[in-house]
Amino acid sequence: MTKRAAWPMVVPAGTTTVGTARVRDDSRPTMTTAQRRIYEKTGVPPQSSALDDFYADDPFAAQAPSLCMAKAKKPPKYRNTKCEHNGIKFDSEKERSRWFHLIQLQAAGQISDLELQVPFILTERKKRDDGKWERASKYVADFVYIDTATGKRVVEDVKSEATRKNRTYIQKRKQMLDKHDITIKEI
């Protein structure tokens, strides 16, 4: 895909059409007399056409809606709120809360060797028959620690009900069990 360059289009004054496009007459008032009177009484600007992007000559331009407003940010797919604590970034507040709980368990001596965001290789990088390389796939666990009571290594992942049903996650969970013989503990 090529990037479009800006086109400095110059339309001579008095031109009414360019190709099949109609040139807007900038001399028309932006508000009718009735709209202006209503605006003066209520202070509410009238709704304007989506084509009205010229407010330069409008005496009420300060009240005109901004057309350069930033796009409203789309909420995350699973409605999680990313957060940070002491320079550590978490994908959700639930994950951060679990981190605080695990730190307390480690301080109490119930767990040891607490690690955050530990990657596990599921399939190695391999060369295909056509000479191109397939990337390795990996699973990144939220938390890994040793349970001192049992001596077992525990791999935890903070999941909501919706993310537990994610097909990619289910496939990686199965590969973790197959390749590393590790059952992921979902919190």
CB of 93 closer than 8 Å to CB of 81: yes
For the cut 80, the answer to whether the pLDDT of residue 67 exceeds it is no
| Average pLDDT for 57-69 | 52
**Assigned domain for 71 exists:** no
Check whether residue 103 and residue 144 sit in a common domain.
yes
Check whether residue 102 and residue 174 sit in a common domain.
yes
CB of 48 closer than 8 Å to CB of 30: yes
Check whether residue 127 and residue 156 sit in a common domain.
yes
- Per-residue model confidence as pLDDT tens digits over 90-144: 999 999 999 999 999 999 999 999 999 999 999 999 999 999 999 999 999 999 9
- What's the half-sphere exposure (Cβ side, CA atoms, 13 Å) at 81? 6
**Assigned domain for 75 exists:** no
DSSP secondary structure letter of residue 90: E
Hey, what amino acid is at 150?
Answer: T
| Average pLDDT for 46-69 | 53
Tokens (6 digits) for 84? 């940070």
CA 125 from chain centre, in angstroms, equals: 29
Check whether residue 27 and residue 111 sit in a common domain.
no
Check whether residue 96 and residue 178 sit in a common domain.
yes
Check whether residue 112 and residue 178 sit in a common domain.
yes
Q: Is 10 helix (H, G, I), strand (E, B) or coil?
A: coil
Q: Distance of CA 60 to CAs 8, 33, 118, Å?
A: 29, 13, 58
Check whether residue 30 and residue 117 sit in a common domain.
no
pTM: predicted TM-score of the whole model, two decimal places: 0.58
Overall size of the chain counted in residues:
187
Kindly state the helix (H) or strand (E) to which residue 126 belongs, with its residue range: strand 126-127
Residue ranges making up the domain that contains 128: 83-186
Report how many domains make up the chain: 2
